[in-house]
């Protein structure tokens, strides 16, 4: 069945199509609340990762506890003990680590060596490490944190992965809503300036809104999506897929100007724009779908949702939008206004005039940028979820760290075979200069006291029939070179005593595994994305040379975008580095395709200089519209999100779209004119064939 028959069916069945989409829309709205959101990056580790194996076994034996760190200021050592006991009695709290495990706080002050307890009490401030019965994202853990906040009141400060998780779950939905509202407002303003009817922006946003809701509702089949996907999928879908509806409506307007009926104009518009829409969508889908092949399975999560979003957007534009165009057609005509955009002929001439400067500047920038992009400082694990400066969680963490230094929990998980061996290992771990404390049952038991006489309600926290759990608090952040070195040394000590069936778990060991796996993923995903897009371009242009020229400006923009964090000493989440690299290639390659098509079309009538200028003037409005929408959406995420990972991805997206727009308009037309002989080789051969044929006929 050809596009002609399909377009006629779509137009004739427009009322039924509206009803079908209305039903799907309502169902998806009802499904949205049942889609879970995961905040723990370690959940996406493959089964072969050592920390993942340890987590799975520990969850079966003990559960995987959430953790928090509490500081209480302006208290005596005795008052701090009272606070500690109250916190320990909170439902959902597993244990509270404080100095009273090693020091009798009720003895006379003269017998307490305050230098020995600086890690837990100084300057009338007490700090405590808390582990919970359940995980960081558990509702019970979050309720426990609420109760702890009431106990400590204004004297207290809270940080840690459980507190961070609770803060994320409470603020993320609100921040996404704010980002979406601001994004819609800014996009509406851009569309009002770049379209010729006041109703067109409403139609575009309506179509995209329906597609976004359907995508979010169908995530119920995945069960749970990552917080990164939840945060960026909807707003990126809005920005990226807007082009497709613009293509279709502009094609319809152009056909209608020929004086034919609305139905016929719409049918021809669908037929003429469907190839452009599908090829543009295909490059973006390829950019996202390769993420599914990552070993670190958050890529599978994000790749599926984003690619599904583009597919749903394509179907919504090609099937539902024609019905809505017919419904809104009279209002579009009634609210028509003159274009607010200037003629871009002068822009084309100016760009071509400085072409040699542009090429020289790009060469100077791109070569060092290619090297610098991989030299940035990266975050790989849950530290990337931290709140941005200015938030209460960030301020609390800074205040606690300033007073007591950093604290990092690493859990050794070993076979429960011998208390003597466990105590020897615990003592060696405790002697490490960076260790704050080691909590294990064997090390806590007084000499000569058998484990059997201790109530099981106490021992089960650290011993099961098969395994022993040892909590090791070290003076480091969760993610740093120093933390990685400490984790490696602790692992070696544990393996010395327990060569088999022993595991090290915690944020730092998980981050080490994430780093090792995700850095391998990058080259594979990046190359595969590039190959996939190149294949689509070869099919689109039926030429092996054109894709190379088309991709150069986008790749240059990616290199420059990713090099800036290195130059500004800005830490970047590595997952964002991968996502945005694929996104920037897949989403902004459309700009290059448009300019190249314009150049090839103009070249049939004009010389290469004039064709390059014409390509810019004809495509500038579309490129600037799409580029500005994606730029604003990206920076909107950056300015509205208090989560550093999301803000970082937003800035990369916004800046990447801006650079792609500049290089596609400024560099690509120049490259097209330089490689003109390769680009129009086919057309030249066809023209020579026609001339020869004509001369032979004479």
- DSSP assignment string, 346-372: HHHHHHHHTHHHHHHHHHHHHHHHHHH
- Radius of gyration in angstroms for the set of CA atoms belonging to the chain, rounded to a whole number: 31
Give the pLDDT confidence score for residue 696 in this predicted structure.
46
Please measure the distance between the N-terminal and C-terminal CA atoms of the chain and give it in whole angstroms: 42
Least confident of 105-119, 295-309, 333-347, 352-366: 105-119
Give the pLDDT confidence score for residue 245 in this predicted structure.
85
Give the pLDDT confidence score for residue 632 in this predicted structure.
92
The pTM of the full predicted model, rounded to 2 decimals, is 0.84
> What 3-state DSSP class applies to 413?
strand
Assess contact for 247 and 547: CB atoms under 8 A: no
Which domains, ranges and CATH numbers included, belong to the chain? 1-34+195-339 (1.20.1640.10), 65-166 (3.30.70), 341-372+543-698 (1.20.1640.10), 405-511 (3.30.70)
Q: Which tens digit of pLDDT belongs to each residue from 433-445?
A: 999 888 888 776 6
Least confident of 97-101, 125-129, 360-364, 491-495: 97-101
Distance CA 459, CA 33 (A): 40
Distance CA 473, CA 130 (A): 11
Give the pLDDT confidence score for residue 19 in this predicted structure.
93
Give the pLDDT confidence score for residue 458 in this predicted structure.
56
Q: Which residue has the higher pLDDT, 157 or 276?
A: 157
Assess contact for 348 and 669: CB atoms under 8 A: yes
> By percentage, how much of the chain surpasses pLDDT 70?
91
* Residue 112: pLDDT band with limits 50, 70, 90: low
Give the pLDDT confidence score for residue 113 in this predicted structure.
58
Q: Which tens digit of pLDDT belongs to each residue from 593-629?
A: 888 888 888 888 888 889 889 888 888 888 898 899 9
Q: Can you say whether residue 661 is alpha, beta or left, with left for phi > 0 and alpha for psi between -120 and 50 degrees?
A: alpha
Q: Which residue has the higher pLDDT, 195 or 656?
A: 656
Q: Which residue has the higher pLDDT, 1 or 574?
A: 574
Backbone angles phi, psi at 483, to 5 degrees: -60, -40
Pairing mode, if any, of strands 467-474 and 408-415? antiparallel
What integer is the mean pLDDT of 96-125? 70
- Residue of 326, 219, 296 whose CA lies nearest to 52: 296
Distance CA 309, CA 218 (A): 10
Q: Per this entry, what is the length of the chain? A: 698
């Amino acid at each position: 069945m050809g596009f002609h028959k399909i377009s006629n069916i779509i137009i004739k069945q427009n009322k039924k199509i509206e009803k079908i989409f209305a039903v799907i829309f309502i169902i998806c709205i009802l499904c949205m609340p049942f889609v879970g959101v995961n905040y723990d990056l370690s959940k996406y580790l493959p089964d072969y990762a050592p920390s993942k194996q340890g987590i799975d076994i520990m969850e079966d034996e003990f559960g995987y506890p959430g953790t928090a760190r509490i500081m209480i200021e302006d208290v005596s050592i005795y008052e701090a003990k009272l606070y500690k006991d109250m916190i320990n009695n909170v439902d959902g709290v597993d244990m509270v680590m404080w100095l009273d495990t090693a020091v009798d706080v009720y003895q006379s002050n003269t017998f307490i060596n305050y230098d020995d307890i600086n890690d837990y009490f100084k300057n009338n401030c007490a700090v405590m490490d808390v582990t919970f019965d359940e995980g960081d994202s558990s509702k019970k853990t979050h309720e426990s944190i609420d109760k702890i906040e009431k106990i400590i009141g204004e004297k207290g400060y809270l940080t840690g992965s459980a507190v961070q998780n609770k803060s994320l779950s409470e603020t993320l939905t609100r921040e996404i809503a704010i980002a979406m509202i601001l994004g819609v407002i800014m996009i509406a303003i851009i569309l009002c300036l770049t379209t010729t009817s006041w109703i067109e922006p409403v139609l575009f946003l309506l179509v995209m809104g329906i597609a976004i809701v359907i995508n979010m509702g169908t995530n119920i089949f995945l069960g749970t999506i990552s917080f990164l996907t939840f945060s960026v999928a909807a707003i990126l879908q809005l920005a990226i897929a807007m082009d497709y509806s613009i293509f279709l409506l502009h094609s319809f307007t152009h056909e209608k100007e020929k004086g034919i009926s609305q139905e016929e104009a719409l049918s021809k518009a669908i037929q003429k724009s469907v190839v452009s829409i599908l090829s543009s969508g295909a490059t973006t889908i390829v950019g996202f779908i390769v993420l599914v092949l990552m070993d670190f399975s958050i890529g599978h999560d994000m790749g599926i949702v984003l690619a599904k979003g583009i597919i749903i957007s394509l179907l919504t534009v090609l099937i539902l939008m024609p019905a809505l165009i017919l419904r809104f057609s009279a209002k579009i005509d009634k609210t028509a206004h003159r274009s607010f955009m200037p003629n871009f002929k002068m822009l084309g001439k100016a760009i071509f005039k400085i072409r040699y400067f542009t090429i020289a500047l790009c060469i100077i920038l791109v070569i060092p940028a290619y090297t610098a992009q991989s030299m940035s400082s990266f975050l790989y694990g849950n530290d990337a979820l931290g709140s941005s400066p200015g938030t209460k969680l960030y301020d609390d963490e800074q205040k606690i760290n300033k007073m007591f230094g950093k604290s990092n929990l690493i859990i050794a998980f070993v076979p429960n075979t011998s208390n003597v061996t466990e105590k020897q290992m615990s003592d060696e771990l405790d002697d490490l200069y960076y260790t704050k404390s080691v909590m294990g049952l064997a090390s806590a038991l007084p000499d000569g006291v058998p484990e059997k006489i201790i109530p099981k309600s106490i021992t089960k926290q650290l011993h099961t029939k098969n395994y022993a759990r040892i909590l090791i608090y070290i003076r480091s952040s969760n993610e740093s070179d120093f933390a990685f070195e400490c984790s490696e040394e602790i692992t070696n000590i544990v393996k010395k005593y327990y060569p088999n069936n022993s595991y090290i778990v915690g944020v730092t060991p998980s981050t080490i595994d994430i780093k090792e796996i995700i850095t391998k993923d990058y080259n594979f995903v990046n190359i595969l994305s590039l190959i996939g897009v190149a294949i689509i371009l070869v099919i689109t242009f039926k030429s092996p040379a054109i894709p190379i020229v088309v991709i150069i400006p986008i790749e240059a923009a990616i290199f420059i975008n990713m090099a800036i964090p290195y130059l500004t000493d800005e830490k970047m989440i590595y997952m964002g580095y991968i996502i945005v690299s694929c996104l920037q290639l897949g989403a902004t390659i459309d700009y290059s395709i448009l300019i190249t098509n314009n150049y090839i079309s103009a070249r049939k009538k004009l010389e290469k200089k004039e064709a390059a200028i014409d390509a810019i003037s004809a495509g500038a409005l579309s490129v600037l519209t799409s580029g500005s929408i994606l730029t604003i959406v990206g920076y909107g995420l950056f300015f509205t999100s208090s989560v550093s990972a999301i803000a970082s991805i937003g800035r990369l997206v916004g800046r990447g779209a801006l650079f792609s727009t500049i290089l596609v308009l400024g560099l690509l037309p120049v490259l097209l004119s330089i490689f003109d002989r390769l680009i129009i080789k086919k057309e030249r051969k066809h023209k020579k064939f026609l001339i020869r044929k004509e001369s032979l006929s004479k």
